A and B are shown apart, each in its own frame.
Chain A
Amino acid sequence: MTGVELGMTAQVVLAAAAVAAAVLVPPRLRNVVAGTFAAAVGASGVVTGAAALTDHSGSLELSTALPLTGVALDPTPLGGFVMLVAGAVGAVAAVFAIGYAHGPAASRTSWVALPAFLVSMQLVPAAADAVSFLLMWELMALASTVLVLTEHRDREEVRSAALWYAAMTHLSFGLLLLGFTVLAAEGGGTGFDAMSAVDPKSLQASIAFVLLIAGFATKAGAVPFHVWLPRAHPAAPSHVSAVMSAAMVKMGVYGALLVAFRLLPDGPAWWGFVVVALGAVSATYGILQASVTSDLKRLLAYSTTENIGLMFLALGTAMLLRSHDVSAPADAALVACLLLLTSHAAFKTALFLGAGAVLHATGERDLDRMGGLAARMPVTHVAFALGALGAAALPLSVGFVAEWTLLQSLIHGARPDDRLVAAMMPISVAVVALTAGLALLTFVKAYGIAFLARPRSSGAAGAREATPGMRAAMLVAAVAVIGLGLVPGPLADLAGRAAGVADPGSGAAVDLPGIAGGVLDPVAVTVVAALLAAPVGVVTLAAARRRRRRRVDLAWGCGGARISPRMQYTATSYAEPLARVFDDAVRPERDVVVTHYSESRYLVERVQFRQRLDEVVETRLYQPVLRAGDRVGAAARRLQNGSIHRYLGYSFVALVAVLVVVAL
């Protein structure tokens, strides 16, 4: 038995043990025991993924798991890479959940669903045929729906969120089923190897490609299929949001990679354009919505859409450049896609777990009611700050490495002899630059408003630091953000191996083969930056020592200070200029009500400000479609008017019709 086989068996066995523990262990110990097993499921995913990545051998056939075909698991290096990332996220989130889960999230149902979710998610990238893939995919969807529903008793919006999620995830499943069916019919088998025999230039291949990419984009949360993300993430418990956002949506990206590079490689050039456009729109729209929202988890959900967009952008660029035989930048784009996937997994885990710790401590999700948490929750503060660093793609974080690689491939991918590609690359660079800038603003807002200044509500004022287990989980994720950012070489090597391209790592640095100047050594960058910054620091220190310490107070404060925390910037006011600049895209609905004193119209008693952000995609696309669906439904209800005779008549007419057809 090879390591891969052993690892996959271990995952299934450990998941079964975790489920058994969740059912059997008394509530007092449930969190610890079930959580440990769930973390072990994740850890075994990491080991299996690493084994599949280093020596690709070993497969698992569970012939009794499904009638007729059985389940075939045979992870490729790419599958191993994704499994590794998903397993790591799962393990960290499970450790966090031990301290975090309380109330309904610590219930038996919830603890049963979590390991089932983790194991099915880790086995999705291991599937070797469409049937096994779809089985794992559906198990993953089912378990995650249960987890989203966790707090359905306490909060009304959870139910509607779960409904949206279930509907969208089924849309995704339906599209995938159709796409795989087309491929299976054309290729003569449900195995991925049989499907890859389909001619990518045929019409059927294009139909299957569009269906599959739409299905995977739905799961990944790309625009316009992203509507479930900002609903489901705030509704789910934070450790579940972390797994869903950092790992589950990546299965959509993995699926797109599977289609583009294993099932239907070398497709027509327009496929690449479609994927690039999908990615560019998602990235811009996602970060724009994230920058103006003030609900922390909603903000993180929109940021997920942005990052998924960047991944699709990288993937589409790789497809486009491959179809024009520009192989070095294409390889770099592919590696960038996997680096983005990993970096997003790392920083989004840190951010969602941090948001969970904040929610746990303050009971608040609204940034406008947080503040001053840095002093009250120092460890959470550090973890969140490092995660925000990664999300803003600033140097020293792994997010920077990933976006740098993407930009390298875009810049070196411009091909003057194909005008469309030559135009596409600069536009993509602009999109990446815009999203990077907006991401910086967004995460300065998320971090600054939540953790700095003074508390804006009593919940924030009374916040306590998270338990040691939760702190450890957050720190692990945060250290991954910085560690992988400082020493990205091994990660780039793994990504290169998963993508099947030449080694893009050299020692600690990233060195993109075939690209001039494509070397990034963050340690060297850090040292140089520190040397450059040293004079500034020295001068500042010297100046501070020479001048005596002074205390400046308000000139006309009458000895008082600015006491009210309401005088501070809020998330809404910080994002106001952005909302103004992108007025047409964001469409904020503002409501200012001024109440005057009855004695004088010149004195204001109260000013009320309300702002609502409606999503354009939702109001323009989903609501009309849903209304049309409602109308069709209402029309169909006329068939069923309650008259028994009509019902009997239907079956009678149906019978007679069948008989007439038979008789003719």
Chain B
Amino acid sequence: MNRMILTLARHELRRLFLSPLAWTILAVVQLIMAWMFLSHLDYYLAVQSRLMGMEGEHGVTASVVAPLFGNSAIVLLLVVPLISMRLFTEERRNKTLALLFSAPLSMTEIVLGKYLGLLSFLWLQLLLIVLMPLSLLAGGGLDFGLLAAGVLGLALLLAGFAAVGLFMSTLTQHQTVAAVATFGALLLFWILDWAGEGVGGGVLAYLSLLNHYEPFLRGVFDTRDAVYHLLFITVFLALSVRRLDMDRLGG
């Protein structure tokens, strides 16, 4: 990969960890996810004997890991805006954007560098979450296929969240505005499938993030879902590049 993008990403990640925000978010999310994980596990252990006799998939992976990932998505939907909001808003406010604009970098490199920095942070968070189900290996086996599908799904979902967050941060100078806009956009994409059977219902449901995440949790890997996520990411990154170019062109 391009060396400049890596330089930017490393810088972004380092600055994230220089602020208490990143550590706080990692800690708080981990705490909440641990609580959820343990309660899922507790419930599973309580009903395990009854599940044995039932039809279908009721292993520990399906009963504990899948819901854990489902909940993680919601929690991270709340958290991503908080961490993505400062990406470009802060640079703009502190007038450090000029440093990037006058360096021999293309706008795409700037956007991808920042994006990769944020994504590394979110994937680190994902890794911490995945460690919890992996700890079950100490006492039994896991359905690795199902686990891998879930991890892939959540990784793609986070990449989409990050792209939306990055785009929103290019729009404004105010971190809170970027955070609220990101949260609003993500939530809207999440619940798009609530649109009933009316006009465009099918299209809206198809655009919903949830509908393309849920199959991964069931262990179904459909390239169409993966492509949806990749398109989603590309669109928002392209919009960010355009928006930053407008900074130079507009007035």
A in complex with B: no
